[in-house]
Amino acid sequence: MSLATELLREFEPEIESITLVPSEGGRFEVTINGKLIYSKLQTHRHAEAGEVAGLVRALLYK
């Protein structure tokens, strides 16, 4: 299952927009409702399994 599918399946009612930006330069960014929640460029690593979903939960249910 793709990350976008996983996030939409769990959070579709709460998410107004989702943007996943992969690129060949090592960039991978996830933006939810206009807020950057994960950036591989900033962390210098790949997200671990479930990490992005946890960040979305923290953003939506704080």
For the chain, what is the domain count? 1
Q: How confident is the model at residue 5 (pLDDT cuts 50, 70, 90)?
A: confident
Q: What whole-number distance in Å separates Cα of residue 56 and Cα of residue 47?
A: 13
pTM recorded for the entire structure = 0.77
For the stretch 9-25, pLDDT in tens is 889 888 888 887 777 77
The residues near 1 (Cβ < 8 Å, ≥ 6 apart) are 9
CATH number, domain containing residue 21: 3.40.30.10
Show the 3-state SS of 21-49: EECCCCCEEEEECCEEEEEHHHHCCCCCC
Which structural domain range is residue 37 located in?
3-60
